[in-house]
Amino acid sequence: MALRFNHRLEQQSAPAFFVRGPSPLARLAFFSALSLALMAADSRFEYLNSVRQNLQALLHPLQLLANAPSRLYRDTTEYFSTHEYLLSENRKLKQNALKQAVELQKLNTLELENNNLRQLLQTNKSIVETSVAAEIMHVGRDLFTKKIIVNRGASHNIAAGEAVVDATGVIGQVTRIYPLSSEVTLITDKSLAIPIQVERNGLRAIAFGHGRDNTLDLPYLPTNVDIQRGDKLVTSGIDGVYPAGLAVATVSQIEITPDSPFARIICVPTGGVENHKQVLLVSIPHAVAPVETEIITLIKPDAKNKKSEIKPIPIKPIVAKPEMTKPAAIKVEPAKPKLASETKPILATPPNNTSKPHAAE
């Protein structure tokens, strides 16, 4: 009897001390649906941009704190560099500075000549842009995207869409702005496209990031396109975002297959996408207001003089003389009798001694 009673007690479940809510599966389904709804609403209405920016501003000190060890290690390594390495680097920098100074003199001469030609042609000045120096804070941790964070944001007058370049070429574009930092998408990201132009023949195309590695693709170009291995690609400037003439990539491989009408062209970026730490944020190009040149002011007085010299010439009716008329052109019409209503009454004027005699009198 006692055994049966103990067996029944063991089968009974212990009473719960705390009231349990929904099951874990129901909670997972509810929060998953809620997160999907919030993501869809944010992507469509963008109501979380201000919240995201405020959170980024609050997390900015934490980012600096997280980067402090790497910064300290880099500064320590630079401090304890050897004297010989610094001397060799200084020698190379002086040689590069000398070469660039000579090229800069040529550039100044060409710029002056270009300005003189534009003044002669009465055209506006060329498109200008400004640049802001920035430093890469950290690289994105997502393996499927190519993004970096720089230490310049909305407080430094940075706008979305600005090109990011280094000393050798374009490396990306600003895609998101925060108060004290900005997110830069590299040109090797598969979601970024950049209009390019072949420097050798001026052929225009659009380059897309490959995504998996640090390369670019030129899709949708026919197999007979005039592109060779080693051609340099520069920005075309037709999109109004990237300044024209910046180095982008170099063609490294061209594959042509008989079963495809398009060639597979692979390019290697010219800029140090994953090498350099200091970059420049180049503003979106804009044209300056037209300026009236001196040659126009010199032409205006002549035009006024020409206008003043031209006077209207009165045209007198030409009376045909008897010798000028031809008999064949004369048509004789019978005279029509005038009606009494058509005749005009002659008004009699009183004699006036002061009036001059008429020509008929």
State the pTM of this model.
0.53
Report, in this order, helix, strand and coil percent for the chain, each rounded to 5. 35, 20, 45
Residue 222 DSSP symbol: B
CA distances from 228 to 153, 221, 225, 233, 260 (A): 40, 13, 9, 11, 19
With respect to residue 172, please indicate whether it lies within any of the assigned structural domains: yes
Task: Give residue-wise pLDDT tens across range 259-276.
Answer: 888 999 999 999 887 777
Tell me what pLDDT residue 75 has. Answer: 83
Backbone angles phi, psi at 18, to 5 degrees: -120, 145
Tell me what pLDDT residue 174 has. Answer: 93
Tell me what pLDDT residue 251 has. Answer: 94
With respect to residue 141, please indicate whether it lies within any of the assigned structural domains: yes
Domain of residue 248, residue span: 130-282
Tokens 């400037």, residue? 237
Can you list the alpha helix ranges (DSSP code H) found in the chain? 2-11, 24-45, 49-79, 83-120, 294-309
Tell me what pLDDT residue 250 has. Answer: 94
With respect to residue 219, please indicate whether it lies within any of the assigned structural domains: yes
Question: What CATH number has the domain bearing residue 235?
Answer: 2.40.10.340
Tell me what pLDDT residue 342 has. Answer: 45
- 3-class secondary-structure state, position 114: helix
With respect to residue 184, please indicate whether it lies within any of the assigned structural domains: yes
Tell me what pLDDT residue 298 has. Answer: 42
- Residue 306 tokens, joined: 């020409």
Task: Give residue-wise pLDDT tens across range 143-189.
Answer: 778 889 999 999 988 999 899 998 888 999 999 999 889 999 999 99
- Please give the radius of gyration of the chain, using alpha carbons only, rounded to the nearest integer: 43
CA distances from 341 to 279, 338, 344, 347 (A): 100, 8, 8, 16
With respect to residue 167, please indicate whether it lies within any of the assigned structural domains: yes
Count how many domains the chain has: 1
Tell me what pLDDT residue 356 has. Answer: 45
With respect to residue 361, please indicate whether it lies within any of the assigned structural domains: no
Tell me what pLDDT residue 328 has. Answer: 44
With respect to residue 55, please indicate whether it lies within any of the assigned structural domains: no
Which residues are CB-neighbours of 44 under 8 A, at least 6 positions away? none
Tell me what pLDDT residue 173 has. Answer: 92
Q: Report d(CA 199, CA 228) in Å as an integer.
A: 11
Backbone angles phi, psi at 170, to 5 degrees: -75, 135
Which residues are CB-neighbours of 237 under 8 A, at least 6 positions away? 127, 195, 243, 244, 245, 285
With respect to residue 216, please indicate whether it lies within any of the assigned structural domains: yes
Task: Compute, in degrees rounded to 10, the torsion defined by CA atoms 291, 293, 297, 299.
Answer: -120
Q: Which residues of the chain are modeled with pLDDT < 50? A: 291-361
CA distances from 305 to 148, 153, 292, 301 (A): 64, 57, 20, 6
Q: Which is nearest to 178 in space by CA: 140, 145, 149?
A: 149
Strands 147-150 vs 204-209: parallel, antiparallel or unpaired: unpaired
